[in-house]
Every structure is written in structure tokens, then in C-alpha cells.
């Protein structure tokens, strides 16, 4: 219930800011209209997916392509690579940044990961097979300390959930490119970097051989659907 | 306890930095796709080369459409692809970095880089093994963005060049993933056949992700779409080889669930955008009707003919359609009379025509801006089906649409024959604001993405 309360507060804050920032021309009215519609809660915020899921293992998750690798830094400031961290696990990878303000953006992805660990916490086999990675879009702001704070208290059971960043945009960009994960950045008048403007929300399901087996956007990012896919991958290994 | 902390963490992030977030798009694109807000900068026109005209090759023509530009309404780039392929449809990747464009005869797929320099696209990759990789699909038609992937609908097959076909799934790098054959009487692939037909024909593909639904429509195979139009109309056997079905798929599993009878070659599919509007429209080329494909109160998807388009006995031949962003209007182009018709679809079960105007001697495609105020039209249907003689106009036209006054105002025409370009077919929009750049975003409407 408290989570819902905070979500409602988010709407109030975002709506207030939108009213300030808009002029009266038609395009901006159109933006307002669309935004109001899109601000409805994404499916991942709801308990009920709204349609019946197939039985795990009754469908194929195709090999889309090999997942990207790259140098990252963990919450403790230790360097590693994405592939090292994925090793032997089924991985859910989400690109997020701690300043992300879109209800249906990074907070949704983090919330869905949180709910997944909640839902599978009594299934030791599933829990021990799964790795979750939240990797920042914004290494300039999201230092290992910030990512540690961001993840603090989120991964509170035995789930394997890392909150990662990179040492620079130069190290991050090849990773984003390898996942076709676009981001629009803000720049100041002098050309200096000023943070993340927006991005496409994408979550990647990667199997134990480091192959991407599904890509989710906001329309499909629901814990029940992701758990179904993870179970399907596990069954295909048996 | 932990839920509370999670909530505080999110709220704190919002208070730290709030950016205005919105989403928009031309109204017929994939809901997974990055969106253009406000004014588009370029229109990319996938154009058929014509023998004896210019370099005779198929080409991607880039038109500057930003009124603030010094080269407004001019062709600013022409990229020929080295031959004629029966250029037809094109579609953007979900990040709008690449434009995929198909050849219905050569089965080649050209992938253009439109993000490195939106004013001057380059050819990034050519897929030449489409038929082999897919196990025999012919005629790559619709290119529809899914997250990290492109779904390509076929029109035909390499066994009999008829209409039985499938969907081909590619990753965003242009690598083949899987083929999903359309259900037939011989192999329903688990689907339920609702009516008389399970022809296995294909044409367009669209999705309603919140309902986990993918829809396909059905046209005709290579043996017809490459035949002379007049000759085909006289060929009774050929005229039997048109699709009469739409298929409802489980989008997540890619499994066909139901085959619905939609007689008369249902072509373009446009799904409603509204969060509770669980329906899509199509039009039938041969019977000249608007069909509604909708989810009923029991969660079953059904098809229903809901309106006539012109006088069916005169075969106006409905071709491209375009739904408005508010789901209240549907544009329908009819090729034979060169008209654009606007239907009020506020009640999707009772579309009412409110307006019609002749755009030219022939018209095929329409692309409208998200706000509906700009409508671009183009002419070519198929190389062998376009009109001949003086009626074979080839152009791209921009009109301004005033919904209150129900009026179209012509803004400009680019004559593709006079410019020695070819036959103008599918149009897609480009904008600098789609891409991150230290220089390009200055003073532009910021485009925000599907999140």
C-alpha cells in the first residue's frame, strides 16, 4: 500500500512540473495529451498481467544473438566484466540510472526485478540459477557509491543482484552499442555532458551460454512473464 | 520495510531531477519504436527505379520537410542501390537508427543507416539470402520493429510463387532468427479455423502488445504481384489467388491462435493507440470494405465488416490507411480513383465518411504526422500495377489537414518523374532530435522515447 502511495506522489510531482514547463502552442498541447495517456501505470506495476501465460517450456525462446561484454565496476569499486558476472547463470540485464524520473522507465525495471526476487524467494533452484544486473546509463553521476546506495535494501534476500556502473562514457558506449540500447544525452551550451535526457526501456534475458533469448520493453515487463521465460530456459536445459 | 525504502528511493530520484517526458510518433509505426515529437526533418521515400529514367535504379530519396530549412521541400539526397528489385515497403528499427527496405522481386533487404547523418543516409548492409535463410519465404513486405528485432512479413514462397507464406524474424543486426509459417488447412499449427479459409497468405503485421496479440493480413503471391495488372484482371484463375484471411497470433510465443475470414484481400492493418481500445482496422482491396478486428467481451478476437469505401462495383481499390493518434479518424487511400477519404471512427463499429478529395490520378501511401496536421501522399502501388500513359503520375505531395474545417490544403509536390527519380512508394520520417548529439539537438524539439 505504501508503495502505491509513493507512486501517487510521483504522479503529482510529475504533473506539477509538466504544467510549469509547457507553453500553449499546439504541439505542446499534443504532448500533454499523449503524456497523460502514457502516464497510466505500465503492466509491470500491476499484479495481474491481464492475459493467461502459456505453460513454461511449451514455447520457444529463440537465440537472438550473443550478448555484449564490457568492463564494469561493481558497488565496491572493483573492476570486472559483464560476461564474468553472468557466468553460468540465467541473467536479467537492465540499463538504468539513479536520476531516472519516468514512472514507466527505470523505476519500473527495478521494481520488476524486486518483485521477481520476492516471487521466487522460496524456489531455491530458480533463485540460485538467476543473476540480475542493473547497469547505469550515467557513469558521470552514478559512481559505485551511488549505485551501492541505489541498490541498498533492494536485494535483501539471497537473490544475486548487482548494481553496476562503468568508469566513463567511453567504456559504457561500446556496451550500449552492443545491446542496441539507445540513449539521448543532454549537453550544455559549451558541449559538456549534462546527464541523460531519455532512453528506450529494454530488459534483456540472457541464458547460461550468454545468448540473448528475449528483449522486453515496457509492454512486456511483468514479473510473471519474465519468471515464465526463466523457467522455460531452465526446462530447455534439462 | 523494504517496500517503503524502495518507494523512498524512487521518490528521491524524482525530486533530484525531473525532466518532462512525453511520447509521440507518426501514427502507423510500431509502439515499440522511438518517437518523433513535433516537426519531422526528413521524409525517406523508398523509390522504384524505372527503365529509361535517370539511373534506372531503385533508390532511397531523402526530402527535406522542415519548413525552417533553406532546402525545404527539396530532394537533398538520392541513394541508388544498384538495380531494380520491385522496391516496396520499408520500416525503421526500434531505435530508428536503421531503415529496412525490401525488394519484392529480388528478395533483397537493404538496411540504411539513417542516424549517422539523417540528411544523407548510407547503405549499411544488404541481406541477399532471405529466401534461403527463411526456408522459402518470398517477397519481404512489412518491416515491423519489435524490441531488438524486426519482424518481416512475406508475400509468397519459392515452391509455387503463390500466396502461402510466413513471417521472418531478424535481430537488429540483420541476422536471421526464425521463420513462423502462416497456418493453412494442411497445417493449422495449433490455430483455430473460424470460417471457410485458412489460406496461409500474408501481407501486413501489427501488434497490440498489451493484449499480447499480433495480427497478420493476406494479399497475393509473386505470380500475381509481378503480373501486368490488366492481364491479371482478365485471368480468372489468377483472381482466385487472393487472400481471404487474417490471423490472430500469440505475440509472446509467436504461435497462431485463430484464423478469421476477411474476404477480398485485407491489406494494411492499423491498431488503435488508446489504452482501452482493443481493436485494429484493415481494408479489403477487392471488396472495398473497412473491417474491424476486435476483442469481444469474452476476450475472443473477431472480425466484422463495418463500412463500405466508395462504390465497390467500381473497384476503387483501397490501399494504404492511416489511423489518427486519438483513434478518432481513419484515412483511406483508394488507388484507382486517386482519392483520400477520411472516416470518423469514434464508434469503431460504425465508421462514417466525413471527407474525400482527389489527390491525383493515382494514390497509394499516406503518412501523417502525430498531430495529424501534415499528410504526405505518394503514388506507386507496384511496378506492373501502376497506371500507364498520362495517368502514371509519380510524386510525393504534402497537404495540411484541418480537422475542424475538414479541409486539405496542398503545400507542395515533388514530381518524381521530372526529377528522374522513379516511382514513389513508402515514406518514413526522420528527425535529428531522435539522436544524441552535442550539436544536432540545439534548438530542436526534443524527441523522447518509448519508455
For chain B, give every domain's residue range: 22-434
The pLDDT score that the predictor gives to residue B28 is 60
Confidence of residue A220 (pLDDT cuts 50, 70, 90): confident
Contacts of B451 in chain A (CB under 8 A): 102, 104-105, 198-201, 218
Averaged over B357-363, what is the pLDDT? 98
Candidates B278, B352, B290, B280; CA nearest to B318 is B290
Candidates A55, A169, A6, A34; CA nearest to B324 is A34
Q: B10-51, pLDDT tens digit by residue?
A: 322 222 222 222 222 345 666 667 667 688 999 999 999 999
| Terminal-to-terminal C-alpha distance of chain B | 28
Contacts of A180 in chain B (CB under 8 A): 93-95, 97, 148, 172-173
Spatial distance between the Cα atoms of B114 and B259, rounded to a whole number of angstroms:
37
- ipTM of the prediction greater than 0.90, yes or no: no
* Contact status, residue B258 vs residue B301, Cβ threshold 8 Å: yes
Close Cβ partners of B243 (under 8 Å, ≥ 6 residues apart) = B163, B199, B201, B202, B203, B217, B218, B219, B220, B265, B266
Please give, one letter per residue, the 3-state secondary structure of B1-66. Answer: CHHHHHHHHHHHHHHHCCCCCCCCCCCCCCCCCCCCCCCCCEEEEEEECCCCCCCCCCEEEEEECC
The pLDDT score that the predictor gives to residue A199 is 77
Q: How many C-beta atoms lie closer than 10 Å to residue B18's C-beta?
A: 19
Confidence of residue B2 (pLDDT cuts 50, 70, 90): very low
Q: Which residue has the higher pLDDT, B259 or A6?
A: B259
Spatial distance between the Cα atoms of A174 and B165, rounded to a whole number of angstroms:
38
The pLDDT score that the predictor gives to residue A155 is 77
* Contact status, residue B62 vs residue B427, Cβ threshold 8 Å: no
The percent of residues above 90 in pLDDT, for chain B, comes to 84
Q: A168-215, pLDDT tens digit by residue?
A: 999 999 999 999 987 877 777 777 888 777 778 899 999 999 999 999
Q: A42-70, pLDDT tens digit by residue?
A: 888 888 888 999 999 999 999 999 999 99
- The answer to whether the CB atoms of B95 and A180 lie below 8 A apart is yes
pLDDT of A120 > 50? The answer is yes
Averaged over B258-268, what is the pLDDT? 98
Averaged over B45-65, what is the pLDDT? 98
Q: For B5, list phi and psi in degrees, rounded to 5.
A: -65, -35
* Contact status, residue B34 vs residue A200, Cβ threshold 8 Å: yes
Whether residue B238 lies within 8 A of chain A, CB to CB, comes out as no
- The answer to whether the CB atoms of A191 and B175 lie below 8 A apart is no
The pLDDT score that the predictor gives to residue B5 is 36
Q: B113-136, pLDDT tens digit by residue?
A: 999 999 999 999 999 999 999 999
Spatial distance between the Cα atoms of B293 and B276, rounded to a whole number of angstroms:
14
DSSP B116: S
Least CB-CB distance to B24: which of A34, A63, A100? A34
pLDDT of B320 > 70? The answer is yes
Candidates A33, A31, A12, A96; CA nearest to B446 is A31
The percent of residues above 90 in pLDDT, for chain A, comes to 58
**How many pairs of residues across A and B have Cβ atoms under 8 Å apart?**
194
Spatial distance between the Cα atoms of B247 and B214, rounded to a whole number of angstroms:
8
Spatial distance between the Cα atoms of B189 and B52, rounded to a whole number of angstroms:
47
Close Cβ partners of A191 (under 8 Å, ≥ 6 residues apart) = B438
DSSP three-state, residue B81: coil
The pLDDT score that the predictor gives to residue A28 is 58
Sign (positive or negative) of CA dihedral B387, B111, A136, B252: positive
If contacts are CB pairs under 8 Å, which of residues 136-155 in chain B contact chain A? 146-149
- The answer to whether the CB atoms of B14 and A101 lie below 8 A apart is yes
DSSP A34: H
Least CB-CB distance to A180: which of B14, B19, B172? B172
Contacts of B97 in chain A (CB under 8 A): 180, 182
The pLDDT score that the predictor gives to residue A62 is 97
B170: closest CA of chain A, how far (Å): 8
Confidence of residue A87 (pLDDT cuts 50, 70, 90): confident
The percent of residues above 70 in pLDDT, for chain B, comes to 88
State the cell numbers at B420. 528522374
- The answer to whether the CB atoms of A200 and B449 lie below 8 A apart is yes
Spatial distance between the Cα atoms of A155 and A132, rounded to a whole number of angstroms:
10
The pLDDT score that the predictor gives to residue B273 is 86
Least CB-CB distance to A198: which of B21, B95, B254? B21
Spatial distance between the Cα atoms of B276 and B214, rounded to a whole number of angstroms:
17
CATH number of B22-434, picked from 2.130.10.10, 3.30.565.10, 2.30.30.100, 3.30.1330.200: 2.130.10.10
If contacts are CB pairs under 8 Å, which of residues 24-43 in chain B contact chain A? 24, 31-32, 34, 37-39
Amino acid at each position: 500500500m505504501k508503495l502505491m502511495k509513493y507512486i501517487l506522489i510521483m504522479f503529482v510531482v510529475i504533473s506539477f512540473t509538466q504544467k510549469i514547463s509547457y507553453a500553449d502552442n499546439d504541439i505542446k498541447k499534443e504532448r500533454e495529451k499523449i503524456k497523460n495517456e502514457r502516464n497510466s501505470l505500465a503492466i509491470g506495476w500491476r499484479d495481474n498481467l491481464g492475459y493467461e501465460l502459456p505453460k513454461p517450456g511449451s514455447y520457444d525462446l529463440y537465440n537472438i544473438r550473443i550478448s555484449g561484454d564490457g568492463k564494469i565496476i561493481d558497488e565496491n569499486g572493483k573492476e570486472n566484466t559483464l560476461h564474468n558476472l553472468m557466468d553460468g547463470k540465467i541473467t536479467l540485464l537492465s540499463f538504468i540510472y539513479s536520476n531516472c524520473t519516468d514512472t514507466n522507465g527505470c523505476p519500473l525495471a527495478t521494481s520488476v526485478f524486486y518483485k521477481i526476487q520476492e516471487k521466487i524467494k522460496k524456489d531455491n533452484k530458480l533463485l540460485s540459477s538467476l543473476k540480475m544486473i542493473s547497469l547505469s546509463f550515467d557513469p558521470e553521476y552514478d559512481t559505485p557509491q551511488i549505485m551501492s546506495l541505489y541498490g541498498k535494501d533492494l536485494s535483501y534476500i539471497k537473490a544475486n543482484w548487482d548494481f553496476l556502473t562503468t568508469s566513463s562514457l567511453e567504456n559504457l558506449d561500446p556496451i550500449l552499442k552492443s545491446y542496441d540500447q539507445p540513449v539521448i544525452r543532454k549537453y550544455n551550451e559549451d558541449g559538456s555532458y549534462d546527464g541523460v535526457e531519455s532512453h528506450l526501456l529494454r530488459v534483456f534475458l540472457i541464458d547460461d551460454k550468454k545468448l540473448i533469448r528475449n528483449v522486453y520493453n515496457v509492454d512486456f515487463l511483468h514479473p510473471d512473464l519474465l519468471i515464465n521465460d526463466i523457467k522455460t530456459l531452465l526446462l530447455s536445459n534439462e | 520495510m523494504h517496500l517503503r525504502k524502495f518507494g523512498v528511493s524512487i521518490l528521491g530520484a524524482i525530486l533530484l531531477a525531473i525532466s518532462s517526458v512525453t511520447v509521440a510518433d507518426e501514427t502507423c509505426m510500431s509502439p515499440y519504436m522511438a518517437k518523433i515529437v513535433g516537426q519531422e526533418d526528413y521524409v525517406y521515400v523508398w523509390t522504384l527505379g524505372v527503365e529509361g529514367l535517370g539511373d534506372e535504379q531503385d533508390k532511397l530519396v531523402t526530402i527535406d520537410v522542415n519548413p525552417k530549412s533553406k532546402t525545404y521541400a527539396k530532394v537533398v539526397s538520392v541513394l541508388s542501390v544498384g538495380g531494380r528489385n520491385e522496391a516496396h515497403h520499408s520500416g525503421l528499427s526500434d531505435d530508428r537508427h536503421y531503415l529496412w527496405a525490401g525488394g519484392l522481386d529480388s528478395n533483397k533487404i537493404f538496411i540504411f543507416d539513417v542516424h549517422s547523418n539523417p540528411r544523407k543516409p548510407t547503405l549499411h548492409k544488404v541481406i541477399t539470402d532471405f529466401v534461403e535463410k527463411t526456408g522459402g519465404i518470398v517477397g519481404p513486405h512489412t518491416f515491423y520493429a519489435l524490441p531488438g528485432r524486426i519482424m518481416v512479413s512475406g508475400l509468397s514462397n519459392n515452391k509455387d510463387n503463390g500466396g502461402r507464406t510466413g513471417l521472418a524474424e531478424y535481430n537488429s543486426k540483420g541476422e536471421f532468427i526464425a521463420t513462423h509459417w502462416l497456418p493453412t488447412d494442411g497445417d493449422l499449427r495449433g490455430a483455430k479455423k473460424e470460417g471457410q479459409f485458412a489460406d496461409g497468405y500474408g501481407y501486413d503485421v501489427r501488434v497490440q502488445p498489451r493484449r499480447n496479440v499480433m495480427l497478420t493480413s493476406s494479399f497475393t503471391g509473386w505470380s500475381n504481384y509481378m503480373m501486368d495488372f490488366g492481364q491479371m484482371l482478365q485471368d480468372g484463375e489468377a483472381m482466385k489467388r487472393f487472400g481471404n484471411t487474417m490471423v490472430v497470433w500469440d505475440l509472446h510465443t509467436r504461435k497462431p491462435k485463430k484464423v478469421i475470414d476477411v474476404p477480398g484481400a485485407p491489406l494494411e492493418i492499423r491498431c488503435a493507440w488508446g489504452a482501452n481500445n482493443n481493436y485494429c482496422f484493415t481494408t479489403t482491396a477487392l471488396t472495398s470494405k473497412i473491417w474491424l478486428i476486435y476483442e469481444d467481451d469474452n476476450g475472443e478476437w473477431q472480425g466484422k465488416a463495418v463500412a463500405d469505401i466508395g462504390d465497390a462495383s467500381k473497384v476503387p481499390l483501397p490501399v494504404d490507411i492511416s489511423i489518427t493518434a486519438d483513434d478518432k479518424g481513419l484515412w483511406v487511400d483508394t488507388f484507382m480513383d486517386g482519392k483520400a477519404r477520411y472516416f470518423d471512427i469514434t464508434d469503431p463499429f460504425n465508421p462514417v465518411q466525413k471527407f474525400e478529395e482527389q489527390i491525383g490520378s493515382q494514390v497509394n501511401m499516406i503518412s501523417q504526422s502525430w498531430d495529424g496536421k501534415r499528410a504526405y501522399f505518394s503514388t506507386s502501388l507496384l511496378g506492373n500495377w501502376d497506371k500507364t500513359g498520362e495517368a502514371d503520375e509519380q510524386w510525393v505531395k504534402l497537404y495540411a489537414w484541418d480537422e475542424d474545417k475538414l479541409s486539405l490544403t496542398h503545400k507542395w509536390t515533388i514530381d518524381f518523374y521530372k526529377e528522374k527519380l522513379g516511382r514513389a512508394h513508402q515514406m518514413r520520417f526522420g528527425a535529428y532530435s531522435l539522436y544524441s548529439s552535442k550539436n544536432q539537438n540545439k534548438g530542436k524539439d526534443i524527441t523522447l522515447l518509448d519508455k
